[in-house]
Amino acid sequence: MIHPTAIVHPSAKIGRGAEIGPYSIVGEHVEIGAGTVLQAHVVVNGWTNIGADCIIYPFVTIGAASQDRKYVGERAYTRVGDRTVLREYVSIQRATGPEEVTSVGNDCLLLAYVHIAHNCTIGNGVTMSNLAQLAGHVIVGDNATIGGQAGVHQFVRIGRYTMVGGASKLTKDVPPFILVEGNPAQPYGLNSVGLRRAGFPVEERNELKRIYRTLYNPKLNVSQAVAAMKADVVSAPGREIIAFLEAPSERGVLK
């Protein structure tokens, strides 16, 4: 179902049951999955793949050239997973660098005016509230929540099930399962409500509390905290935090 005012390149691939609304533009190298709906005035260009059963609201732009001075027109990609909802004026930009990718996972909800810059990797089930902004090369883990008007510095990593409060400024990595807020952001404990809702067993939540107290003990640096954690961590989420802290980091860990 393609509205007569829409402009769709003959080489674009449109899945069965997809809808292209009034005045939308779909470029040459675009693939749109089955059942996905582009409402009015949506622009999708570049080398872009959108999954099945997505809902894309008016004035969204996907796959535009990155706002990176290093981008010189090379083939780079933008990908959006299945069942993701993009509200009004969301912008998701293609990557910088040959064959590089900007990606948004399955079952995400990005509210109005969210911006995803070049080379970002967004996991599955992520929620970003109005006006949340990610600079380039940010990684967001599955089921994280980023509050409205939050700003995230380039190369920051945000772990799974993290909760970032509204209007926060993030310049360092946030380990999984943590609640942070402020300008600059500070840790405020575990994302306990999110963990309970997600069905994490009480034993895992209790271990994560002990890990949190160790990590944010003011007498320990990150390396010392990791060494102390390893002595008694038994759960998969606990090992996940340790792996996050030991992984390479451009920005360092929020402490």
For the chain, domain boundaries: 7-190, 196-246
Q: Which of 235, 187, 189, 237 is nearest to 209 (CA)?
A: 189
Report the SS3 class of residue 121.
Answer: strand
pLDDT in tens, 195-230: 999 999 999 999 999 999 999 999 999 999 999 999
With pLDDT > 70 as the criterion, what percentage of the chain qualifies? Answer: 100
- What phi and psi values does residue 50 have, to the nearest 5 degrees? -115, 135
Count other Cβ atoms within 10 Å, centred on residue 213: 11
In CATH, the architecture of 7-190 is 3 Solenoid (2.160)
pLDDT in tens, 32-72: 999 999 999 999 999 999 999 999 999 999 999 999 999 99
Confidence of residue 143 (pLDDT cuts 50, 70, 90): very high
pLDDT in tens, 98-126: 999 999 999 999 999 999 999 999 999 99
Q: In the Cβ-directed half-sphere of 83, how many Cα atoms lie within 13 Å?
A: 5
